[in-house]
Amino acid sequence: MQTKLQEKFKALFGKEGRVFASAGRINLIGEHTDYNGGYVFPGAIDKGIMTVILPNGTSKVRLFSMDYNESTEFGLEEADAPSQAWARYVFGVCRETIKRGGKVEGFDAVFAGDVPLGAGLSSSAALESTFAFALNELFGNGIDKFELAKIGQSTEHNYCGVKCGIMDQFASVFGKAGSLIRLNCKTLEYKYFPFKPEGYKVVLIDSCVKHELASSAYNKRRESCERAAAAIRKNHPDVEFLSDAKRVWLDEVRAEIPEEDFLRAEYVIGEVQRVLDVCDALERGDYETVGELMYQTHFGLSRLYEVSCEELDFLNKLARKMDVTGSRVMGGGFGGCTINLVKEELYDAFIKAAKEQFAAKFGHEPKIYNVVISDGAREICR
């Protein structure tokens, strides 16, 4: 990918550029907890976005997307937003950098990626982090890494219509090869956990289902959680986020809030604790417990949070039937992947069965991705 990008950059702009990259992510456990001030446990993966980029001495950005085989040009004022959805991510990153007092001038860039789109692996966070990191280096802004992640998150909020939490951009910026990162999304304290489960493989099974209305459904889940937290806060004023609440405090307000909000909140409160339990189990090398907690998360995401779908429930059930150690829908949901913790000796049989049985039921094979935990945002060469 790097050579292709460099050649294209040279052909379009007649120069050599600097090369930056960032990564998509997995999340072992801790789903929909980030915007509730809870814990998440992601890691960056070996699939990401790469760009060749250089300032061009003008006030215009000239972008070429290899994947869409499309180019665009835009200015850096608020009114200059490009029409292509893919370019709005880069425009958003420029604007959010400027809003934070960073310098951004015109630049040329060619970029491409290998994060499967719509699979729940955060291709958009990879794109945002790549450009947030690159612009920070190119223009010498000295913005710290957390703020770079927040530039990506604000881009989603203000330019792409998704009121996401910080997990994806955090993982993409802070990712480190071989380690998962537990982040407390309220205090922003984090800790790296080396993750090499001896005798197990971590594999993603992509249902290839993509739901069009995913971002509005996602925003609705967030509103439910905020309503539940607000109701609890009336009795317990220290509750800033839903993750601060005890389960019994939620029961106190059950009659006051819509049942749907109650179920969403029930899931979140359980999930925050599961992240801590998984980290403890990992430190003991107790993968059976890790896996069991993953199944509990799937149940919650499917029945309480209602972000699974028939295809993902099917894959989860199959994993359970075949004694796979852990399995659950990963990421925002509404399609995408399951993440599976599988004993090595079971791996081949499980993948074969997943492909065959899924295809027999849904008419197409799922895609299989083996997970390699890798580095996040970085400069590749200058």
List, by residue number, the catalytic residues: 168
Our finding on whether 371 is near ligand GLA (CB under 6 A) is: no
Of 45, 112, 132, 167, which lies in the binding site for ligand GLA, with binding defined by CB under 6 A? Answer: 167
Instruction: Tell me if 147 sits within 8 A of 67, measured CB to CB.
Output: no
In the bound state with ligand GLA, the residue whose beta carbon lies nearer, of 24 and 291, is 24
Q: Tally Cβ neighbours within 10 Å of residue 38.
A: 27
- The DSSP-derived string for 113-156 is E-SPTTSSS-HHHHHHHHHHHHHHHHTT----HHHHHHHHHHHI
Letters for 279-318 (x = contact with ligand GLA by CB under 6 A, - = none) are ----------------------------------------
Q: Which residues pair with 201 in a beta bridge?
A: 342
- What does each C-alpha distance from 364 to 40, 192, 367 come to in angstroms? 32, 38, 9
In the complex, the smallest distance separating the C-beta of residue 6 from ligand GLA, rounded to whole angstroms, is: 31
Q: Is the dihedral of CA 108, 114, 117, 121 positive or negative?
A: negative
In the bound state with ligand GLA, the residue whose beta carbon lies nearer, of 147 and 168, is 168
Q: Which stretch binds ligand GLA (CB under 6 A): 131-139, 163-171, 238-246, 366-374?
A: 163-171
Our finding on whether 118 is near ligand GLA (CB under 6 A) is: no
Q: Which stretch binds ligand GLA (CB under 6 A): 32-40, 189-197, 244-252, 286-294?
A: 32-40
Our finding on whether 128 is near ligand GLA (CB under 6 A) is: no
Of 13, 21, 32, 262, which lies in the binding site for ligand GLA, with binding defined by CB under 6 A? Answer: 32
Our finding on whether 116 is near ligand GLA (CB under 6 A) is: no
Our finding on whether 376 is near ligand GLA (CB under 6 A) is: no
Of 21, 34, 128, 261, which lies in the binding site for ligand GLA, with binding defined by CB under 6 A? Answer: 34
Beta-carbon-side half-sphere exposure of residue 245 (alpha carbons within 13 Å)? 34
318's tokens: 């199959």
Closest-CA residue to 152 (of 106, 102, 90, 70): 90
Helix (H) / strand (E) containing 202: strand 200-210
Kindly state the DSSP code that residue 203 receives in the 8-state scheme.
E
In the complex, the smallest distance separating the C-beta of residue 153 from ligand GLA, rounded to whole angstroms, is: 8
Give the strand order in the sheet containing 335-343.
Answer: 326-329, 335-343, 200-210, 367-370
Q: Which stretch binds ligand GLA (CB under 6 A): 12-20, 160-168, 202-210, 278-286?
A: 160-168
Q: Which residues pair with 79 in a beta bridge?
A: none
Our finding on whether 164 is near ligand GLA (CB under 6 A) is: yes
Q: Which of residues 248-267 bind ligand GLA (CB under 6 A)?
A: none
Of 31, 128, 147, 206, which lies in the binding site for ligand GLA, with binding defined by CB under 6 A? Answer: 31
* Positions in the binding site for ligand GLA (CB under 6 A): 31-32, 34-35, 122, 164-165, 167-168, 331-332
